[in-house]
A and B are shown apart, each in its own frame.
Chain A
Amino acid sequence: MSEKKLRRLPLAAAALVTCMSAQADYQSPDGNFRLSGFGTLGAVHSSTNDVEFNYPGQGGGAGTTPNMSPDSKLAVQGSYKFTPTFSATTQVMARYDASSQYVPSVDWIFAKWQALPALTVRGGRMGAPFFMVSDFRNVGYANTTVRPNLDVYGQVPTDQFEGGDVTYQYALGSTTFNATLYAGDSKADYASAFRSSGRELGPSNFQLKKLKGLNLTAEMDNGLTLRAGYSKSKISLTSDSVNGLLALGAQATGLGILNSSPALVDVGTKITNATNATLVTQDKDISFVGFGASYDQDNWIISGEYTKRRSNSFIADTTGWYTNVGYRVGKFTPYIGFSRLTVNSANVTATTVVPLAQVAPLTTFANGANSGIQSVLNVQKLAQRTITLGSRWDVMPNVALKAQWDQIHKPADSWGLFFTRDPSAAQEQSFLQNRRTVNVLSVSMDFVF
C-alpha cells in the first residue's frame, strides 16, 4: 500500500504548483494554439473500513483514513486551429485508475471539422455522451458537486470512445437544439476487488463494440436545458475471475481424463458449461438511455437525471436517478441532492454446478466453481441510495473549494457501489448481507488553468 501512496505524491505536488502558478490558459498570439487544463485535489473519508469508497472501476478507494485517490486528478488539453473550420484537440489525464496507479493516458485525440455553420463532424478518440454530464464528468470545476452522481454515473464503465460523431445545431426562436449521432468502439479497465478467496485479481476489461448513440439537447433562454440520449453496443468482458473458472473446468476435465475418472470429467464439463452459460460475455447487447434536465438561472442551479442500463449478459439491468438543488449565495453555493440506484433484473442467476455431497477431489472443484461463479455474480448487487449535502465556494475565478457529505444507504444483500478488497472475507460478507449506512465526507479543490 505504501508504494501506491508514494505514487500519489508527484500528482499532488504537480497539481498544487500548477494551480498556484497558472492563472489562465495559454493562447498563442494568433489565437490558433491553446493550452489549458483542469484538475482536482480532493480527500475522502468514509465511516467504514469493511469496504472502500471510490469512483466505480478504480482499483481501491477510501476507508476511515482520509484518502486522496478517488477524486484527485490532473488533465492538460491542447488544441490547434489549422483553419477557421478545422481543428485538432488532445487531452491527457492522470487519475487513479483500475490498476491502482496514476498513469497519464491520452483521453482524447480528435479532429473537428465545422462542415457548415450548423454542422460539426469529429473523428478520433473523444468523450462519449452516455448521460448528461458524461463528457465533462471529470471536470470538477464545471460541476456543482464534488463528483458526478455515482448512482447514475456508476452504471457506465467508460467515458470515451473511438470513432466519429456528427452534430447538427438548430435554433428555433430562443431555443437552441443540438442533435449528435455517434458511432465507434469503446474500452475500459474496471476493478471491483483486489482479491477473491485470497487469489489476486487484476482489473477486468470491458469492450463496447459497434457503439451507436443519439444525444438530443434543447437549451432555452431561461436557463433550462433538456436532454435525452440513447446508446447501444455489444459488450465483451475479459476477467481474471472468469478465466480462472474456465481454467478450473479445464483442470478438472484434464485430471479426470488422466485418472480415467468419468465423474471428474463430468464435473470439469459442468464447470466449463456453467461458466460459459452465466459469465462468459462476448458481444452481448447493452444499452443506456437517459433523460435529464438542468436549470441554471440567477441563483438557482438545479439538475436531475433518470437513466437506465439494459443488457442481456450477467451485467444487471439498473435504473439510476438523482436530483440536485443548489442556491447561490454570493460566492457560496450550498446544495442538497437525492439519488438512487436500483437493480431491475440480474439477467443471469447463479447455478449450482455440481451437487455438493460428493467425494474429495470432486467436492473441491465443485465448491471452488460454485463460490467463484457466485462471487462474480455478486457484482450485480449494487442497489443503494444516497443523500448529499454540500457547498461549493468559488474562492477565486478559476478555483472552487467544495465540502460534501454523502449518506449512502444500502439494503441487505447488496454491495452498493463500494469496492471490496476480498468479497469472500468475513467482514465483507457481513457488509454484503446486512443493511448498512455509510457516511462519506469529501473535500476538494477544483481548478482550471
Chain B
Amino acid sequence: MKLKHTLQAAAAVALLTLAQAASAQVAVIVNPKSSMASMTPEQAAAIFLGKSSTLPSGQTAVPADLPESSQAREIFYSKAAGKSPAQVKATWARLTFSGKATPPKEVPTAADVKKHVAANVDAIGYIEKSAVDSTVKVVLTVE
C-alpha cells in the first residue's frame, strides 16, 4: 500500500512537472520594423549557434541571449536546436576559440531583450511568451 501511494505521488509530481514544462512557451522576437513575418526553429537556432550570421532577410543578425540560469534560454535551445546547455557551450567554445564568431551579447532579463530588439531593426532575441508586448514582433513560438 505504502509503495502504491509513493508511486501515485511520484506520478502526480511527474505530471505536474510535464504540465509546467508544456506551459512554458518561448517566443522568438524581432523589431516591429523587420521585414520578417516568421522564422523556422532551424533558422533561429542557426543564428544563436553561430552557424549563420545573417537573418533570412539577408542582414547581419544582432542576437541577444538570456543568462544560462534562465528557464527561457534552456527551453529555447532544447526546443529550437535540440541542444543541451553543455552542447551549446561546446559549440560556442569551438567557434570562439577558433576565432570564427563571438557568442550573442548576453543581457540579464526579458525586459533587456525587448529593449535590445526594439532598438535595432536587425536584432533578434527570445523571451517567455507571456512577456511579449507591442514593442516587439513574434516570428516563432517554441514550447
By a beta-carbon cutoff of 8 Å, the part of chain A in contact with chain B is 24, 27, 31, 34, 36, 38, 75, 77, 79, 81, 84-85, 87, 89, 91, 108, 110, 112, 114, 117-118, 120, 122, 126-127, 135-136, 138-139, 141-142, 169, 171, 174, 176, 219, 221, 296-298, 331, 394, 397-398, 400, 448
Contacts and interface: CB of A to CB of B under 8 A. Distances in A.
Nearest to A446: B93
Contact of A108 (B42, B82, B93, B99): B99
A397 B93 CA distance: 12
A126 B54 contact: no
Nearest to B107: A31
A31 B105 contact: yes
Contact of B89 (A27, A84, A126, A398): A398
B62 A397 contact: no
A118 B94 contact: no
Contacts of A89: 99
B139 interface: no
A297 B53 contact: no
Nearest to B57: A117
Contacts of B51: 176, 219
B46 interface: yes
B75 to A, nearest CB: 16
Interface string B55-66: 000111010000
A79 B103 CA distance: 11
Given A117-B53, A169-B53, A127 B99 contact: yes
Given A117-B58, A118-B54, A397-B68, A135 B98 contact: yes
Contacts of B100: 135
Most buried by A among B59, B86, B91: B86
B90 interface: yes
A448 B99 contact: no
A56 B59 CA distance: 44
Given A31-B105, A117-B54, A171-B52, A397 B89 contact: yes
A91 B68 contact: no
Contact of B96 (A36, A81, A114, A117): A36
16 contacts: A31-B106, A36-B96, A75-B97, A87-B102, A110-B99, A114-B53, A135-B99, A136-B94, A136-B97, A139-B93, A139-B97, A176-B46, A176-B51, A397-B68, A400-B86, A448-B89
Most buried by A among B59, B91, B105: B105
A221 B42 contact: yes
A27 B105 contact: yes
Given A84-B62, A139-B98, A448-B97, 18 more contacts: A77-B97, A81-B102, A84-B60, A117-B59, A122-B99, A135-B99, A136-B93, A136-B98, A138-B97, A142-B90, A142-B91, A142-B94, A169-B52, A176-B52, A221-B42, A397-B68, A397-B86, A398-B89
Contacts of A394: 86
Most buried by A among B53, B54, B94, B98: B98
Contacts of B68: 24, 397
CB-based closest 7 A-B pairs: A31-B105, A135-B98, A142-B94, A136-B98, A142-B93, A394-B86, A117-B60
A301 B45 CA distance: 19
A141 B90 contact: yes
B66 to A, nearest CB: 13
Contacts of B85: 397
B58 A34 contact: no
Nearest to B94: A142
Contact of A38 (B62, B91, B97): B97
Interface in B66-113: 68, 82, 85-87, 89-91, 93-94, 96-100, 102, 105-106
Contacts of B59: 117
Contacts of B54: 117-118, 169, 171
Most buried by B among A27, A91, A142: A142
B86 A139 contact: no
Contacts of B93: 38, 136, 139, 141-142, 448
Contacts of B52: 169, 171, 176
Contacts of A118: 53-54
Nearest to A447: B93
Given A31-B105, A142-B93, A398-B89, A85 B60 contact: yes
B102 A79 contact: yes
B40 to A, nearest CB: 8
B60 A174 contact: no
A171 B57 CA distance: 12
